[in-house]
């Protein structure tokens, strides 16, 4: 039971890396949109 609880609390490395890449992609895309919007003004 202890091992199952630890496994539930800590996501697998693949999931952690995937979430990290997704969050970075969203931030980068958001920054690019802001830069394009500023350059248009």
Structure confidence by residue, pLDDT tens digits, 1-41:
455 555 555 668 888 889 999 999 999 999 988 888 888 77
The three-class DSSP label of residue 16 is: helix
Q: What is the pLDDT of residue 24?
A: 95
How far apart CA 1 and CA 10 sit, in angstroms, is: 14
Quick one: CA dihedral 13, 16, 22, 28, positive or negative? negative
> What Å distances lie between residue 6 and 19, 28, 33, 34, CA to CA?
19, 33, 40, 40
Q: What is the pLDDT of residue 1?
A: 47
How far apart CA 18 and CA 40 sit, in angstroms, is: 33
């Amino acid at each position: 039971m202890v091992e199952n609880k630890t496994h539930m609390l800590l996501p697998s490395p693949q999931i952690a890396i995937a979430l990290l890449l997704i969050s970075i992609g969203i931030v980068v895309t958001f920054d690019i949109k802001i830069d394009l919007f500023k350059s248009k003004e």
